[in-house]
Amino acid sequence: MAHINQNFLKLPGGYLFPEIGRRVQAFSAQNPPKPLIRLGIGDVTQPLAPAVIDAMGKAVEEMGRKDTFRGYCEEICCAYDFLRFAIQDSYKANGVLIADDEIFVSDGAKSDCGSIGDIFGLDNVVAVCDPVYPVYVDTNAMAGRAGEYDGEKWTELVYLSCTAENGFFPALPKEKIPDLIYICSPNNPTGAAATKEQLQAWVDYANAHGSVILYDSAYEAFITEPGIPHSIFEIGGAKTCAIEFRSFSKTAGFTGTRCAYTVIPKELVRDGVSLNALWNRRQGSKFNGVSYIVQRAAEATFTQEGQKQIKETIGFYLNNAKVIKDGLRRAGLTVYGGVNAPYIWVKTPDGISSWEFFDVLLKKACVVTTPGAGFGPSGEGYVRLTAFGEAEATAEAIDRIREVL
Ligand SMILES: *Cc1c(COP(=O)(O)O)cnc(C)c1O
């Protein structure tokens, strides 16, 4: 008889978004006084840039001709030269030198963050920020690294609490020393972006203890403040302790198109083995790359025209973020994020719970948000709003919230 992976049975089973859906549906059924505005959405809404569409169209035509047709991508790291070099150049423009065979192109940062555990032993101690993007937690639970879920936390994970007191960036752990450390900056859900000094402390810690930092910079393109690092590799010593995940999803609206990349420096060695070589081996066995059409689309985001167009869209989202942040501040709320990220992290008023505030905003303002408690215990007392909506609806939502507070 076949046996299942019992670790899957330990997962608490998609509580957050199903529960939001249930409450929204129940409220909608009672004929709300106003149409709902959704500011809980974690997906982009604006179409792909014209430069991207042009490049895809050309690539589609090439695929239809015998002399330019392409089958499996035989190149290193599942990436065509043109995309690998474009990514390498974009790092170089930021002062970061990466070898082209350190860049692995994939179909998503979610896949890569979720699959990277394949190359690490099951006995590694895993640390996650709290609150956190659920993928890091759930994939480690599936692998058996998280222990048991006790209704609030996983028994074997190290939770690095990110609160207003520490500027939503975790302090170095004092007790258990983690081997694998997930850091997401700019952060989903808090919108906080780490400074060079903050990251340096973790890089030094990881090098001192032989830990590996798994650095998710999916929102790097939203950074507006000068001096905030866009890459972990801007930090001295990172190449011997860090892996970086990036994605075209939020950068260029590729959530439905699918393309991302992961950088593993060749200097990164554990147990005497190169992690770059291990990941290459893993990808070679479990992954056959991203389509030529999509790699051409991704390449187009690095052209002058492409850059201009994707920056306009990011500017549009960041303007929504500012409308949300300024509006809620004027309404007397305490608000974080929204400057280097499309997420605004809002303290609930009068110490009410995340879910209570979610219900107030839903029932009184007809605005859908995301309760912070769904991202981890330290998310309690917050709700997350996102800047991915339409400008008019976003402004209207904020007006409504101000009226009901
Ligand atoms: C959206 C998001 C990603 C992107 O995932 P893709 O699979 O590339 O679409 C990665 N990390 C975080 C924290 C995200 O919010």
Question: What is the rounded CA–CA span in Å between residue 250 and residue 247?
Answer: 7
Residue 12 pLDDT level (bands cut at 50, 70, 90):
confident
Q: Give the model's pLDDT for residue 101.
A: 95
Question: What's the rounded mean pLDDT across residues 16-24?
Answer: 92
Q: What is the DSSP string of 161-203?
A: E--GGGTTSPPPPSSS--SEEEEESS-TTT-----HHHHHHHH
Nearest CA to ligand 1 atom 11: 218
Q: List, chain by chain if needed, residues with CB within 6 Å of any ligand 1 atom.
A: 108-110, 133, 184, 188, 216, 218, 247, 249-250, 255, 260
Instruction: Answer for the pair 262, 212: CB distance below 8 angstroms, yes or no.
Output: no
Question: What is the rounded CA–CA span in Å between residue 399 and residue 66?
Answer: 57
CA distances from 157 to 76, 194, 364 (A): 34, 22, 38
Could you give the dihedral angle defined by the CA atoms of residues 222, 224, 228 and 232, in that order, rounded to the nearest 10 degrees? 20
Question: What is the rounded CA–CA span in Å between residue 281 and residue 287?
Answer: 10
Give, to the nearest 10 degrees, the angle between helix 391-404 and helix 354-365: 100
Q: Give the model's pLDDT for residue 75.
A: 80
Nearest CA to ligand 1 atom 4: 109
The answer, yes or no, to whether residue 14 has pLDDT greater than 80, is no
Question: What's the rounded mean pLDDT across residues 366-390?
Answer: 96
Nearest CA to ligand 1 atom 12: 218
How far is the centre of ligand 1, averaged over its atoms, from the C-alpha of 67 (Å)? 36
* 3-state secondary structure at position 122: coil
Question: What is the rounded CA–CA span in Å between residue 268 and residue 270?
Answer: 7
CA distances from 402 to 325, 365, 392, 398, 405 (A): 12, 9, 16, 6, 5
pTM over 0.85: yes
* Per-residue pLDDT tens over the stretch 318-352: 999 999 999 999 999 999 999 999 999 999 999 99
Question: What is the rounded CA–CA span in Å between residue 361 and residue 37?
Answer: 10
Q: Give the model's pLDDT for residue 74.
A: 82
The answer, yes or no, to whether residue 276 has pLDDT greater than 80, is yes
CB count in 10 Å sphere of residue 47: 10
Question: What is the rounded CA–CA span in Å between residue 242 and residue 204?
Answer: 11
Question: What's the rounded mean pLDDT across residues 297-318?
Answer: 98
Give, to the nearest 10 degrees, the angle between helix 81-93 and helix 292-300: 30
How far is the centre of ligand 1, averaged over its atoms, from the C-alpha of 68 (Å)? 32
* Per-residue pLDDT tens over the stretch 210-253: 999 999 999 999 999 999 999 999 999 999 999 999 999 999 99
If one compares 231 and 78, the residue with the highest pLDDT of the two is 231
**Bond before 229 cis per omega within 30 degrees:** no
Q: Give the model's pLDDT for residue 16.
A: 85
Question: What's the rounded mean pLDDT across residues 101-105?
Answer: 96
Question: What is the rounded CA–CA span in Å between residue 347 and residue 350?
Answer: 9
CB count in 10 Å sphere of residue 316: 16
Residue 175 pLDDT level (bands cut at 50, 70, 90):
confident
The answer, yes or no, to whether residue 76 has pLDDT greater than 80, is no
Q: What is the DSSP string of 15-77?
A: -HHHHHHHHHHHHHTT--SS--EE----S--SPPPHHHHHHHHHHHHHHTSTTT---S--SGG
- Tell the burial category of 153 from Cβ atoms under 10 Å away from its Cβ (0-12, 13-18, 19+): middle
Instruction: Answer for the pair 301, 82: CB distance below 8 angstroms, yes or no.
Output: no
* Per-residue pLDDT tens over the stretch 184-212: 999 999 999 999 999 999 999 999 999 99
Q: Which among 257, 249, 278 has a CA at the least distance from the CA of 266?
A: 278
List the single range of 6-20, 121-135, 291-305, 352-366 with lowest mean pLDDT: 6-20
If one compares 73 and 349, the residue with the highest pLDDT of the two is 349
How far is the centre of ligand 1, averaged over its atoms, from the C-alpha of 89 (Å)? 22
* Per-residue pLDDT tens over the stretch 35-48: 999 999 889 999 99
Q: Give the model's pLDDT for residue 135.
A: 94
